[in-house]
A and B are shown apart, each in its own frame.
Chain A
Amino acid sequence: DVVLTQTPLSSPVTLGQTASISCRSRQSLVHSDGNTYLSWLHQRPGQPPRVLIYKVSDRFSGVPDRFSGSGAVTDFTLKINRVEAEDVGIYYCMQTTQFPYTFGQGTKLEIQ
């Protein structure tokens, strides 16, 4: 199975500042069709996960442009500009390139 390692595991950030989360894979996430199926999910307490970013850098419908994804092959980053209070929660990277789907351990974003 593909192992995804997120850093940091906890990210205290000041409102209005920028947060950055890294996700590294031990294997290439480039699919045979040429796409890279790396997504970022956000989960608020008591809520289901929801997709923010898919295929590395495509924003899901309704996601503010404060959220951006970048990276390639094995190294990926989620960046959150101008952090707002509603951004707190846990962020997961998820790969759906290889079967089975796997997830990073999660990064807890907290407002300090």
Chain B
Amino acid sequence: EVQLVESGGGLVQPGGSLKVSCAGSQFMFSDFAIHWVRQAPGKGLEWVGRIRSMPNGGSKAYAASVRGRFTISRDDSKNTTYLQMNSLKTDDTAVYYCTRQGGDYWGQGTRVTVSS
């Protein structure tokens, strides 16, 4: 079955950086755009950004709330997408999920806490 597994979350101070990963398996990872979605404690789902497949140009797009601070990349040789988060704010505290194009499969999430 299709699987997406996030990792790398943790506690970071405001202004700090963190890189989380999303590893896919049981599907042709390189053919799919990967999206990142986050959920702050007790809140709903918020789209964060996406990276297209390399055959479709590999372009990236971000929500206004993270643009200029977050960067998405991918390494198809490792079936993995990365979310580099810089200049973190307390408002970035959330569980970060990856989902593949179409939103049919989701990972279990990785928790990022920004606090001093």
Interface residues of A (CB under 8 A from B): 37, 39, 41, 48-51, 54, 60, 92, 94, 96, 99-106
Contacts and interface: CB of A to CB of B under 8 A. Distances in A.
Interface residues of B, number: 19
Contacts of A37: 102
Contacts of B106: 48-51
Looking at B45, B46, B61, B106, the one whose CB has the most chain A CB atoms below 10 A away is B45
Given A100-B47, A100-B63, A101-B35, A60 B108 contact: no
Given A92-B44, A101-B37, 15 more contacts: A37-B102, A41-B103, A48-B109, A49-B106, A51-B106, A54-B102, A54-B104, A60-B104, A99-B61, A100-B63, A101-B35, A101-B47, A102-B47, A103-B47, A106-B45
A65 to B, nearest CB: 19
Contacts, number: 48
Contact of A39 (B44, B95, B103, B109): B103
Contacts of B107: 48
B97 interface: yes
Contacts of A51: 103-106
Interface string B99-115: 00011111111000000
Given A100-B61, A100-B63, A105 B44 contact: yes
B113 to A, nearest CB: 16
| A interface: dominant SS | loop
B35 to A, nearest CB: 6
Contacts of B105: 51
A60 B1 CA distance: 13
Given A48-B106, A54-B102, A60-B104, A103 B44 contact: yes
A16 B35 CA distance: 36
Nearest to A37: B102
Contacts of A100: 47, 50, 61, 63
A39 B37 CA distance: 15
Contacts of B35: 101
A49 B45 contact: yes
Contacts of A101: 35, 37, 47, 103
